[in-house]
Amino acid sequence: MKVKVNQDNCIGCGACESICSEVFALNDDGISTVITDKFENIDKAVIKDAEESCPTSAITVEE
Ligand code: SF4
């Protein structure tokens, strides 16, 4: 699985971090960052939920 945040599109709303803090965290500039590359033990549905909840479609999840 690959998870990316297009930081140019992120408006720092924090939704992804609220939904899945194991994968997403706002950096010092208030922009979301993917904080892990180990997704095996994280519920895929929660990651997808974060993707779908992003108001600017900045998150992409590839299987
Ligand atoms: S949900 Fe989207 S816009 Fe909001 S912080 Fe996450 S990546 Fe940025």
Give the domain extent around 55. 2-62
Tally Cβ neighbours within 10 Å of residue 18.
11
pLDDT of residue 33: 98
User: How many distinct structural domains can be found in the chain?
Assistant: 1
pTM of the complete model: 0.96
Q: Which of 52, 2, 37, 42 is nearest to 20 (CA)?
A: 42
Strand 24-26, strand 2-5: pairing: unpaired
- Separation of CA 55 and ligand 1 centre (Å): 7
Q: How confident is the model at residue 15 (pLDDT cuts 50, 70, 90)?
A: very high
Closest-CA residue, ligand 1 atom 1, reads 54
pLDDT tens-digit map of 42-62:
999 999 999 999 999 999 999
Whether 23 has a pLDDT exceeding 90, the answer reads: yes
Closest-CA residue, ligand 1 atom 6, reads 16
CATH of the domain at 28: 3.30.70.20
